[in-house]
Amino acid sequence: MNILHDFDYYAPKTKGEALELTKSLGSSAKVLAGGTDLIIMMKEKMIKPEAIIDISGLEELKGIVCKDGQGAEIGACTTISEIEFSKDLAKKYSALTYAAGELGSNQVRVMATLGGNCCHSSPAAETPTPLSALGAKVVISGLEGERELPMEDFIQGNRKNDLQLGEIVSKFVLPEPAPKSACRYGYIGLRNAMEIDAVNMAVNITLEDDGAKIKDVKLVMGSVSPRPLVSELVPGLLKGTELTEELIVKAGEAAQSEAKPISDVRASAEYRKDVVGALARRLVKEAYEAAKEA
């Protein structure tokens, strides 16, 4: 039966108290924000923490702040649903709000948090890919202070990240989008319903002042590597060019050559490779056309 084991439960009233608890309890404790991943793992007996530190009620870890010309900050305990429906975020970071809306069911999205989705560090997670493409930084807090990491450096592998004992993720910082830029997100699954992505991808393109030549591009793949995979070949191929159908095809081939997917119950490695090419071709073209209109 899926019955939880006995554990100590803590509900800190402040961020400082939460950090004290995470430091003192160490590896015997798990931090709970939304619980949509953690509780399932506990029910399935995958983990048996001696203590749970519930930070879901900490207002200082919640909220979305967007400032003109200054990017945005999103608290780690902000729910996926709040991100999905944020009009302020949608104006600047539509790739992120779209990805949030494709995560699980509505019941999951009103509980799950951005921090939890990233800290769970699943290769197929929806939000790390657009966060990485958008240049987001993860702000990590401990009793000794704060440090920042790019999204793609924070996640180290399947359910592994750079959090040290006594640390929690407190917020995410997104830079102001560059002029003449656009980011697009897409994914492929095996059915049009709740599922874990077979592949997901985000592409962020910035154009030169002429509105035609590509100044910069960042293509990030999910579910084809233990961590978000940032393409090295696609920028070298596209920067300084005006996009053509031939370059779109080459970008797809380049992304495919970098992807290192595995076969599992959701898709074969070969299928994932094909999907990477298709997504790269579509999203590069969509991001480029959107950047021309920005």
Element (H, E) at 137: strand 137-142
The confidence score (pLDDT) of residue 198 equals: 83
HSE-up of residue 64 (Cα within 13 Å, Cβ side): 20
Contact 50, 85 (CB under 8 A): no
Tokens of 236: 């070298």
> In sequence order, which residues have a C-beta less than 8 Å from that of residue 180 and are 6 or more positions away?
206, 207, 208, 209, 211, 215, 291, 292, 294
Q: Map out the domains of the chain with their CATH numbers.
A: 8-54 (3.30.43.10), 59-174 (3.30.465.10), 199-293 (3.30.390.50)
Contact 203, 133 (CB under 8 A): yes
Closest CA to 22 of 64, 61, 65: 61
Contact 95, 183 (CB under 8 A): yes
* pLDDT by position in tens, the chain (length 294): 577 888 999 999 999 999 999 999 999 999 999 988 898 888 888 899 999 999 999 999 999 999 889 999 999 999 999 999 999 999 999 999 999 999 988 899 999 999 999 999 988 899 999 999 999 999 999 999 999 999 999 999 988 999 999 999 999 999 999 999 999 999 987 645 545 678 999 999 999 999 999 999 999 999 999 999 999 999 999 999 999 999 999 999 999 999 998 787 777 888 889 999 999 999 999 999 999 998
- Round to whole Å and give the CA distance between 145 and 72: 21
CB crowding 230-243: b at 16 or more within 10 Å, else e: bbebbbebbeeeeb
Closest CA to 189 of 130, 74, 102: 102
